[in-house]
Structure 1
């Protein structure tokens, strides 16, 4: 069984981005992928800020990345870029931290004016970490996401497109394995 790790970089405990990460992990688990979800905001702040890779929780998170066949990067959009929290974590990875991995970049935001965050910010970082294949990225408008008591409701027009991107990611994972 292959391993996929969703890495979400929202600092908010009520994050819709995090719920999108949960949704993607569930969808992948339906096809018998082992899908974990690393919520960077749950890592200890001081070791993360100090880049203390010897800290047990930071070391465990880095090991999860190393063991994954596929990585889903999920971020809210802030100031036309991905979150600083996600950037802080990605900076801890070794230079070839995504070598031999398939990567799916996802972003959420309030306006389609921010959609380029994927191609001009997140995708280049994934490539700089030596990702084997970065699949089609996807941007979800905040207005298409409704937080529910038991999860997330995604408007049908976005849900269908997101499912298509997840399917492309699955196919790339199968080809990689």
Structure 2
């Protein structure tokens, strides 16, 4: 199985590191997993204008096709102005309606305010559900204070445990879908 993580941040490292932590945790649970991190900072994903995918640049084409080829996914976003990033929403606008059918689609969010912990639930989850993604219950919100200021590693043991549980749930659910 292939698990792809998508970091929807265009600035900073926290979201990318958090998504990568989910990938690492999943790989430790199942060494046969293939994992890949798509960090949107490394790609020039064009603004979605409703054109066919073939009309967009190579980065847009490659990112969309990598995601479509994955067995399951984990999406990461920082919370800006009480919302997911525009870069992540723009990426999602490139997908067809059934893009995530039979795929587990986990969520990780980072932010400065605990008041934003429900943003993924109310903004990202409906979009992933629209694409027919199965969203696990154990999604993770990470307050920026949970990161070491210098290394930007997660130092909050509770957050690390929730990342581990998300990886476990995602693998369990995807194996169940694959074995039905």
TM-score, normalisation: structure 2? 0.88
- The structure in which a higher percent of residues are strand is 1
- The residue correspondences of 1:1-16 to structure 2 (distance < 5 A) are 2-12=1-11, 14-16=12-14
Q: Distance in 2 between matches of 1:174 and 1:147?
A: 37
Q: Distance in 1 between matches of 2:156 and 2:25?
A: 16
Q: For 1:104, what is the secondary structure of its paired residue?
A: strand
1:41 is displaced (CA, Å) by 2.2
Q: Distance in 1 between matches of 2:17 and 2:150?
A: 10
Residue 173 (structure 1) aligns with: 174
Q: For 1:78, what is the secondary structure of its paired residue?
A: coil
Residue 93 (structure 1) aligns with: 95
Q: 1:147 to 1:89 in 2, by over 3 A?
A: farther
Deviation digits for residues 33-78 of structure 1, max 9, x if unmatched?
1111111222115xx1255733222111111111111110100001
Residue 146 (structure 1) aligns with: 148
- The residue correspondences of 1:50-89 to structure 2 (distance < 5 A) are 51=49, 53-54=53-54, 55-89=57-91
Tell me if 1:22 matches 2:20. yes
Residue 34 (structure 2) aligns with: 34
Q: For 1:97, what is the secondary structure of its paired residue?
A: coil
Q: For 1:87, what is the secondary structure of its paired residue?
A: helix
Q: Distance in 1 between matches of 2:13 and 2:90?
A: 18
Give unmatched runs, 5+ long, in structure 1. Answer: none
Q: Distance in 1 between matches of 2:82 and 2:23?
A: 26
Give unmatched runs, 5+ long, in structure 2. Answer: none
Q: Cα RMSD between the aligned structures?
A: 1.7
* Contact persistence 1:6–1:36 (CA under 8 A): yes
* Contact persistence 1:147–1:153 (CA under 8 A): no
1:147 is displaced (CA, Å) by 5.4
